[in-house]
Amino acid sequence: MFKVTKLLKGNEYIFRVMAVNKYGEGEPLESAPVVMKNPFVPPGSPQELEITNITRDSMTVCWNRPDTTGVSAENAAGTGKPSAPSQYIKACDATYPPGPPSNPKVTNHSSNTVSLTWSRPIYDGGAPITGYVIEMKEAGDDEWIICSPPTGVQSTNYTVKKLKENAEYNFRVCAANCEGVGEPVDLPGSVIAAEKLEAPEIELDADLRKMVNVRATATLRLFVTIRGKPEPEVKWSKVGSTLNERAQIDVTSSYTMLVIENVDRFDTGKYVVTLENLSGSKSAFINVRVLDSPSAPTNLEVKDVKRNSVSLSWEPPLIDGGAKISHYIVEKREQKRMAFTSVCTNCVRNSYIVSDLQEGGRYYFRVLAVNELGVGLPASTDQVKVSEAPFVKAGDDLKIDVPFKARPQPEVSWKKDGHVLKQTTRVNPSPPPKLGVTDVTKESVSIAWEKPEQDGGSRVTGYIVEALEKGQEKWVKCGATKFTHLTVSGLRENAEYFFRVRAENHAGLSDVKETIIPVIVKDQLGK
């Protein structure tokens, strides 16, 4: 050890020490920076100065110890700051009880309690306030009852307990000093002992306000903080589909949690939590994306059949699994075989021609989408016979046009395998049922519906979607599609729109199916 002297006060120094032997100096050990100053500081000021026991020739002065003593009770650094000065106090005997407390009010209530608060009296009667007395009575009674402890209440707040549920009460508060109890102050109005109503509130963590990503086979947990009085009823749902049967819902007075174990691609979607009590309702949205292989491609069709080849086309899956579709796998299976074989493992288009097929052979085909997470579900065709004969996909309309000239108009009939075919009349389809909104952003609305119950004797070829802005008179066509869903974009933010859909077949258009209430174009909570 070594004592370093003659250092300058207030300067900052760094020291280092090196060991020496006969071969020389070793590596140094360096200290942290040190500021040259007295390690002791003056104590803080005394706290809570109070004057008591006032008479005409004496007073008692009381105080509490300082928050900081510097180092110890005896401080070598000097005297600390004085406490805050007291008010001017006249040395005289108290001659009056105190005045009434000020600013009384109710801060809370429940089915059997009422919480009160107030401020000290402006006039203390010449002596310190020793406590407070609280009185109450039912609204229909005349007699006041003391409901505070026998020794009084020392603080300026109190909770009255053991009240009758739904009963109506009046309250008043008195201050007391050594001369007695002063005049009371009435709390304004009356108070009903009932649970305080509080509208439902939902608090989403920052992670839940973004897209929630979870890998397939993992567990999804959505923890949401909730509030409301009375305790709100909690409902979880999923937009556009039913909630997974494996979903477990936990509800308490302060939170709710949705848990789905072993999630898969079909658990992707928008989840809605809704609270409802006597004060109203509140909803919040949480977007969940399950990182998984894709769902099956859509609208797989056999476009063309030739002597030894088949042309296939399809559209991307509705669920990409949370990752971009990289390519498709095309497979075939002969009717006599049980297993599919690959004909293309890296198809980057949405169509493919399967060649080198046996003329007259019967085949099944299927297509699978692939992303970075794996191979998705297959989309399959019906059995296809490879030949030059006219080909019609199962479910499509067969149309054979035969021109002829004859006068007068001849009677026409068609036969199949020697049997006369029955003539039918095509009519318009019925309107699409169950039209609903599946998603809303600040510039678009996504809607979905179901296929018509009656196709009118002819396959439904598509749907026409129209929109009407609230306040306008003219419906505007905003899209046509072969599917039972459509996203309408380019809408005005915060505007309200109605939507309607018509189904179409070869005979014409159906009646409209229209949304009942307008949709406000804005980003939804939780997106």
Q: Residue 305 domain-assigned?
A: yes
Per the document, the length of the chain is 527
Q: Phi first, then psi: what are they for 485, rounded to 5°? A: -160, 155
Query: For the chain, how many structural domains are there in total?
Result: 5
CATH number at residue 241: 2.60.40.10
Does residue 478 share a domain with residue 438?
yes
Q: Residue 205 domain-assigned?
A: yes
> DSSP state, 70?
B
- Say how many Å lie between the first and final Cα of the chain, rounded: 66
Q: What distance lies between CA 446 and its chain's CA centroid?
A: 20
449, two tokens: 């519906």
Residue with structure tokens 């991307």? Answer: 316
Does residue 209 share a domain with residue 180?
no
Q: Residue 416 domain-assigned?
A: no
Residues with Cβ within 8 Å of 227's Cβ and at least 6 positions away in sequence, in order, are 198, 200, 201, 203, 254
The per-residue pLDDT string of the chain (527 residues; one tens digit each, 9 = 90 and over) reads: 999 999 998 899 999 999 999 999 999 999 999 999 877 777 778 888 887 777 777 888 888 887 776 574 455 566 667 777 777 776 766 678 899 999 999 998 888 999 999 999 988 888 889 999 999 999 888 899 999 998 899 999 999 999 998 899 999 999 998 888 999 999 998 998 888 788 899 999 988 988 899 988 899 999 999 998 888 999 999 988 888 888 999 999 899 999 999 988 888 889 999 999 888 899 999 999 888 888 899 999 998 888 889 999 999 988 888 889 999 999 999 988 889 999 999 999 999 999 999 888 999 999 999 998 889 999 999 999 887 655 566 666 666 666 666 767 677 777 776 677 766 666 788 999 888 888 888 888 999 999 998 888 778 899 999 999 988 888 999 889 999 999 998 888 889 999 999 999 888 899 999 988 889 998 865 44
Residues with Cβ within 8 Å of 64's Cβ and at least 6 positions away in sequence, in order, are 46, 47, 48
- Cα maximum dimension of the chain: 139
Does residue 310 share a domain with residue 225?
no
Residue-range definition of the domain harbouring residue 353: 301-386
- In contact, 269 and 260? CB cutoff 8 Å: no
Residue with structure tokens 């119950």? Answer: 453
DSSP reduced 3-state for 207: helix
* Distance of alpha carbon 124 from alpha carbon 134, whole angstroms: 17
Examine the fold and report which residue of 230, 258, 291 is the final residue of a domain before the chain moves on: 291
Strand order in the sheet with 298-305: 298-305, 310-315, 351-354
Q: Which of 85, 92, 104 is nearest to 59 (CA)?
A: 92
Examine the fold and report which residue of 270, 291, 312 is the final residue of a domain before the chain moves on: 291
Examine the fold and report which residue of 138, 168, 193 is the final residue of a domain before the chain moves on: 193
